[in-house]
Every structure is written in structure tokens, then in C-alpha cells.
Structure 1
Amino acid sequence: METFDRKKLYNKLIRFIIPLPFLLYFFNGLDRTNIGYAALTMNKELGISSVDFGIVTSVFFITYLIFQVPTNMLLERIGARKVIPTIVIGWGLATLLTFFAQNLTQLIVFRVLLGMFESGFFVGIIYWLTLWFPRSERGRVTAIFTLSLSVANIIGPPVAGYIIQYINFGGISGWRWLFIIEGILPMILGVIAWFVMRDNPDQAKWLSVEEKNVIRADLEEEKANNLANKEPVSWKKTVTNATLWKLAAIYGIINVAVQAASIWMPTLIKDIAAFLSPSLIGFVMVLPMIISVICMYWVGKHSDKIGERKWHIALPMFVLAFSFLLICLPVNSLALKMLALMLFGASVMSYYGPFWALPSELLSVEGVAISIAVINCCNAIGSICGNMLTGILMGRFGSTGVFVFFSIIAAVAGLIVLTLDLKKHSPEFSKQLSPNGLSPEQ
């Protein structure tokens, strides 16, 4: 196994493993953010104010928060092969039902259901990937997987804008057709996932016995290294770990801005450029999201290559903060606004790969699933607060107040990242990636 071509093996693993979760996360992104484009016409039709819309976007994250940890405990108990396809079919159904919403209350109910079903998907996939890939591959793998969200942000806006503006079959509003189209497709993929997903490499028929042995050996060696450097920890010790809560705080705070911005951006752009139609707003967002895909992949790959995480997470957050300030500058310059949006695209997802490689590097192997769920729960809390506050700020201060708020939040998250002591927590990772055996930060 010492002479086995591991690069070739893990590239093969990526080709076989990543396409399905990539597609699923693509539709996850569409189903979560399509409400922002629907709002361009839906809010007026249903009589929804900016504060009401803040509630609509927030309730999704309440059930997302409540059901996240239980769902991932279930995933550990019965496996991804059964849990993840069920989740996907459920969220597709919840999206489809939004087609029938007639008032604010019904819309809230459907968003609650969507949050319940989506709650375990992302952290479930992240945990599932730890059962297939060793630490040295996870930054790259996570970046490739999460690229699908950027791809959704490229394809989704112009498609959503077009559907809302031009698809009105049977006199039914375009925003309703948006939900039914984007609900049916993930339900189909969920059924497919039932038949093609496997819980771990041992169940993969497309891997040879030797390949399975190499993967198993790599994962067992990683676990042994963790056990040798860290005492076994209980569930209680896992959730009282200071590093876990620092990571959770970072992710929760940055998502106050990121999650709210991803949902509210169409409305915010409409506020500063009222002449734009829904379809044009969708096309305006294409270029920033193309840049997002490129930067996200490059940052994740570069982070793995040099064995550095801290600045690969913090710097995109600082650039994001700057982009929000540029967007809201009272300057009537289309070029400046587009530059700001391109900086937004370059930074809004770039920290994902390096960040989501940290839990398995800094925390106990036995508690990694729970740790990931706790971190993503703080994402939900941040998203609830972000959407509620955005609705209030939009009503009182307009889009300028919202963008200034987003900028402050992103900068604070970046500053907290700089307080992480990665040399203390992850010596074995540094030795693995640094050719001279020194920590990348030394």
C-alpha cells in the first residue's frame, strides 16, 4: 500500500462519489434561495411587507435548527443511504407545496416544513464525506461539493427571473411555477439517491479490494493519530469544547450576513436599481457567481496545498465586508456597483472549503458528526437573526442600512477567525502537509 497511487485513487473516488451530492446540493441551494426571487412579485400579490418577509425567511431556519442534531444522530445510527434520500424527497415536496400558498400564514407553514427537511442535509453530507476521504483530501473535496451552491447561484437567478417574469401559464403567477418546477426535480433525484448511495467504501462495488484496503488504512491511521494525540472524549466534553464554540461562533456570525444576503439580494438590488426587471436582476447576478465558483475552488485547493487554513478563511470574510460597503456607496456608477458585486462573488463562498475542513482537524473524531451539527446549528441561529434584522433594517433604513450591517458582521467574523490557534490543535495535519515537518504558520 506504500507504493499505491493514492492521488489516482482519490481522484477516482471524487468522480464516483461527488456528482450526486453535487446535484443534490445544487437543488438545495435553489430551493432555499428561490424565495428571494419569488419575492419580487410574490410579496405584492400576497400583501407581504419587508418585516413579514423577514419572518418568512427566518422561520425556515427555526425548524432547520431544531431538527438538525436529531437528524444527524439518526444518520449515524442508520446510515446516509436511507436518511439523505428521504430528506431530499421531503424538501422537494415542501417546495412544491409552496405553489399553493394563498397568504402569509400558509407561506410560513411551507417554509417551516422546508427547514425541517433540509436541516440534516448539509451536515449529513459533510459527515458522510469523512467516511470516504482522509483529512488531506477533505479541503479539496468539500470545496468541490460546495461549488454546487455557487453553480446554483449562477444558473438559478436568470432562470428564476425568467420564470417569474414570463411563465404565467393558465393565468397563474410565475413565482408559483418557480416553486413547482424546483420542487419536482429534487424529488426525482431523491428517488435515484435511494438506489445509488452507499454508506462507506466497503459497500462500493466499483472499488477493488485493494482500493478499499488503502482507503480503510488511511482512515484508520488518521483515527489512530487522533487517539494518540487526544484523549477519548464524551458527548458532554464534545459540546463543551471551547474550540468547537469558537468555530460555531465564526460560522454563525458570518451567516448572519451571508444567508440573509443570498435571500435578500434580489430585493436589495431592486431597491438601488428600480428600473431592473426580475429577469435582468437574475442576469446581473450571473457574473459574480461565476467568479464565486472559480475562487471557491482555487481557495480550497490552495489551502490544502500549503496546509494553511486561517487566512484562507479570514481574508475572504474581510473582502466580503469591503464589497458590501462598495455596493451601498452613494455613487451613481454602474461600473462601481458591478465591481462590488464581483468582489462579493469572489469572497462569499471562498472560505467554505477551508472552514469545513477544520472540524475534523481540530476536534475529536468520535464527536465530529455532533460537532459539525452544532456548528451548523449556529448557522441557523445566525440566519434567523440575520433575516429578521434585515427585514427591520430594510423597513427603517433601506438597502444602505442593510449593507452597512452586513459589512460589520463579516468583518467581525473574520477577526474571530484570526484568534484561532491552529498550531496548538492540529500538529499532525501540519506535519502531513508541510514538507519540512513544520507547521505552515511557523
Structure 2
Amino acid sequence: MQDGTGVNERTLIRKIAWRTLPLILLSYFVAVIDRGNISFAAATMNADLGFSETIYGFGASAFFLGYALFEVPSNLLLARFGARRWLARIMLTWGLISIATAFIRSPVQFYAMRFALGVAEAGFYPGVILYLTSWFPGAHRAWAISRFYVALPLSFIVMGSLAAPLLAMDGLAGMQGWQWLLIMEGLPSVVLAAVLLLALPDRPETARWLNAAERAWLGDALAVETAAAGDHGHSLLRALTNRYVLLLGMANACNFIAINAIVFSAPRLLAHDTGFGVAGVGQIVSASGVAIALGLLLVGTVAGQTVARTVAAYIGLVLLAGAGLVLLWLGGTGETSIGGYILFMAASQVAGMLPLAMVSRLILAADRAGGLAMANTISQSGAFVGPILWGVLADRTGSYHLGVALLIPMMAGSAAFAMLVRARSMQLP
């Protein structure tokens, strides 16, 4: 669609996407690998270091405690120093900490390194959403988020494929296979930090590849969106206590309780239900990545054009994820467990990218830095609880069966919180 300025909206959005999203996608890709590769390392790390399921669950959750505590200050610093420099800083520190985790020897060291990794990565995801709000008008934002969020399923595909060969390096240079896995998958973050610092465009005003007409069109489109929300100045307290920030944060917290309980134990859960080894389980995890990617491409295209559609898509997805958990809980056959796992992962992970897209359109532009970080902080509180609860239940009962059953109501709760946002979403374009 071309307006009086001679700017074709669709062409401009695609141009911006090609200039910004590939680097963001690659960065998020290595972020997910560095936070999640511990699930494959645990297959041998727990035995080598004598870690119980409870110890592992606390360690896996410690990441999200550090992440949540430093989410808001990190996003405010990003708004102050600029996305390019701050995102590069985040990547460098988390890459170094991920590598250092390979040398832990005790539960306390495990907890400390996972907490430090969360602190280092804090603010990355809401920071990226904040960054995208300065490049993509609201009608295109969910589409843009879905395109970089596809890094998440791609990381599952790569993790599932690389786990077995990296663990097979056991004994090389006197180190265990799980140590090699953490080191080799942490190195790309350090390298990519330098690339991000050099190549990521900071904001439209300084982008030389935008001409004057394109820059003016984008500025006008974003200004119209800001004016529609009203200009009340910046208030951190207002941002942190906004009703929609709290409701959508709680909706995603319920979702993330289930996601992280399953994700951080998936290799062992699937091995138990199917009898497969590391390579076979890796193929299942990779298959779930393909399913998530397909879901993202579909939902990002059709659900993000209005806020009401995005809310409806979120509710449907978390209920579908609940159905996947029911299949996983019923088990009985390897096929049922595999199908339930893939359905749950695809629906819940696609749903997980929608709340911040909604928050960015439901709150004032001046409040986005604090509001987006707060919504994600609440979400990550659920990510913190899930693995701990899961580990304790697994140690107490000797299986994952009860844990899966207790996750099912979480998805219904997630849908209920989102329903409370639906009335407001119907009033917005």
C-alpha cells in the first residue's frame, strides 16, 4: 500500500525487517541455547557431581530468579544507553558465564552460576521488544516478534541435534562431555556480542539505509500510535502497576511454570516414557522445534493485526497446550507421550511470545521500558517456580507423573488471566 509520500508500507516494513531481525534472531537463538543446554548436560552432569532432581531443579530455577530481579533495571539502562551497546554487553557476559558453568563442582557453585547467568541475560527479551517498538508500528509488531522468536524453535532443533556428538567428546582433554557441551555452545555468544556492537542499527533516525521519506513515514506512523494512547509523561510506578502489565504477566507466568518444568527435564522425561537414548530424545526435541516454528509463522501472520485477535490467539493456544499436557499425563505409550510433548511445546511456546506484543500496544509509549520489563519479570517468576516444584515432586514420588498432572490447571489459569484483558482489547485497533 502506497501513500502520498510515495512510500510503500509493505516494502518498507520488509526492508526494516531484513536490516534488524536477522541479528536479533541469531542473538536470541544463542540465548535460548545457553539457558537451556543444561537440560542435556544434566543427563551426565547430575551423575558426575551427585546432584539430585531437587538440586538440579533449584539450579535450573536460579537462572530465572536472577533474570527476574534485574529485568526492570536492565531495560531502563537499555533505554538510556541504546539497544546496540546494551544488548552486546548482555551477550558478552552471559556467554562468558555459560562457559564458566562447565567448571562447577558443587551445588552452591551450580546455583551461583545459574543465578549469575540470569543476571547477565536479564532484560534481553523485553529489551528486544522495546527495540522493535521503535522500528515497527503496532499492526506489524506481532509479525516482527514472531520472526525473531522463531530463534527459539531453531535452538531446540540445534540443541537436539548437537547434544549427542558434544556429549560424546567425553574424556577429551580430561574433561567430561557435559563440560564440552557447555563450553562449545557458550562460545558463539562471545563472538556474536562483537558483531552486534558493530552491525545492529540503533534507531531509525541514524539508519543511513532509510531515505528521508521512509524515515518520515515511520516517524508519523509511530507518532499516531503514541497519540492514540495519550501523552501523560513517563511514570515508572504507573508502568509497573499497569493493570494490563500485571494481568498479562500473570497469564504468561502460569504458562512459563509449565514450560520450564517440562523443558528442563524433557530429555529425562522422554527417555523414561519412550526408552530412547540421548540421540533419539534429541530427535523428538528437534521435532518440537519444527512444530513451534510452523506455529510461529502462522500465528504471527494472522493473529497480530489487532489486539483482540492476539488475545484470542493466546487463549486458544494455552488451552491447546493444556490438551498436550493431558496426553503427556495419560502416557501409556511412547507415541502418546511424544505427541503430547510436541503439542504442548508448540502451543505453549507460540503463546509465550504474544503477551509482550500485547503489552506494547496496551500501555503508553512512555511507559514501555518499565512496563515490558515488569510483565516479563512476572512471567519469569513462573519460570523460576516450575523447575523447583518439578524437581521436588520427582524426588518425592520417583516419577514425573504427578508433576505433569499439576501443570494442567496452570494452562487454564493462564487463559483466565488473558480473558480479563479481552474487553479492553476489543476497543483497540
Q: Counterpart of 1:361?
A: 361
TM-score relative to the length of structure 2: 0.94
| Distance apart, 1:33 and its partner CA | 0.5
Number of corresponding residues: 424
User: CA separation in 1, counterparts of 2:124 and 2:301?
Assistant: 24
Is 382-391 or 345-354 further displaced after alignment? 345-354
Q: Counterpart of 2:282?
A: 282
| Distance apart, 1:6 and its partner CA | 0.5
User: CA separation in 1, counterparts of 2:51 and 2:393?
Assistant: 16
Q: Counterpart of 1:28?
A: 31
Q: Counterpart of 1:297?
A: 297
Q: Counterpart of 1:261?
A: 262
Q: Counterpart of 2:203?
A: 200
| Distance apart, 1:342 and its partner CA | 2.9
| Distance apart, 1:418 and its partner CA | 2.0
Q: Counterpart of 2:89?
A: 86
Q: Which amino acid aligns with 2:229?
A: N
User: CA separation in 2, counterparts of 1:21 and 1:364?
Assistant: 24
Q: Secondary structure at the match of 1:198?
A: coil
User: CA separation in 2, counterparts of 1:266 and 1:415?
Assistant: 30
**1:360-396 deviation line (CA, Å, top 9, x unaligned):** 2211111111111001111221111111111111112
| Distance apart, 1:65 and its partner CA | 1.4
User: CA separation in 1, counterparts of 2:36 and 2:200?
Assistant: 26
**1:28-50 deviation line (CA, Å, top 9, x unaligned):** 00001101110011000000001
| Distance apart, 1:415 and its partner CA | 2.3
For residues 6-405 of structure 1, the aligned pairs below 5 Å read 6-227=9-230, 231-232=232-233, 234-273=235-274, 275-305=275-305, 308-331=309-332, 333-397=333-397, 398-405=399-406
User: CA separation in 2, counterparts of 1:270 and 1:349?
Assistant: 22
Segments of 4+ in structure 1 off by > 4 A? 230-233
Q: Which amino acid aligns with 2:418?
A: V
| Distance apart, 1:109 and its partner CA | 1.9
Contact 1:297 1:350 in 2 (8 A): no
User: CA separation in 2, counterparts of 1:355 and 1:64?
Assistant: 18
User: CA separation in 2, counterparts of 1:41 and 1:218?
Assistant: 53
Identity over aligned pairs, percent? 25
Contact 1:266 1:281 in 2 (8 A): yes
**1:212-270 deviation line (CA, Å, top 9, x unaligned):** 1111111112112221xx75563222222222211111111211111222212112223
Q: Which amino acid aligns with 1:407?
A: I
Contact 1:165 1:278 in 2 (8 A): no
**1:272-298 deviation line (CA, Å, top 9, x unaligned):** 23x322222111222222011001220
User: CA separation in 1, counterparts of 2:136 and 2:331?
Assistant: 48
User: CA separation in 1, counterparts of 2:277 and 2:56?
Assistant: 20
Contact 1:320 1:410 in 2 (8 A): yes
Is 322-331 or 46-55 further displaced after alignment? 322-331
Judging changes above 3 Å, is the alpha-carbon distance between structure 1 residues 231 and 425 closer, same or farther for their aligned structure 2 residues?
Answer: farther
**1:139-180 deviation line (CA, Å, top 9, x unaligned):** 100111111111101111221233113554234211100111
User: CA separation in 1, counterparts of 2:63 and 2:226?
Assistant: 36
Q: Which amino acid aligns with 1:85?
A: A
Q: Counterpart of 2:416?
A: 415
| Distance apart, 1:354 and its partner CA | 3.4
Contact 1:393 1:402 in 2 (8 A): yes
Judging changes above 3 Å, is the alpha-carbon distance between structure 1 residues 158 and 18 closer, same or farther for their aligned structure 2 residues?
Answer: same
**1:99-131 deviation line (CA, Å, top 9, x unaligned):** 211222222222121111111111111101001
TM-score relative to the length of structure 1: 0.92
User: CA separation in 2, counterparts of 1:167 and 1:190?
Assistant: 29
Q: Which amino acid aligns with 2:327?
A: L
User: CA separation in 1, counterparts of 2:383 and 2:348?
Assistant: 15
* RMSD, aligned CA: 1.7
Q: Secondary structure at the match of 1:133?
A: coil
User: CA separation in 1, counterparts of 2:317 and 2:30?
Assistant: 25
Is 212-221 or 89-98 further displaced after alignment? 212-221
Gaps of 5+ in 2: none
| Distance apart, 1:188 and its partner CA | 0.2
**1:53-103 deviation line (CA, Å, top 9, x unaligned):** 111111111111121111111111111121100100000000111121122
Contact 1:299 1:351 in 2 (8 A): no
Contact 1:161 1:280 in 2 (8 A): no
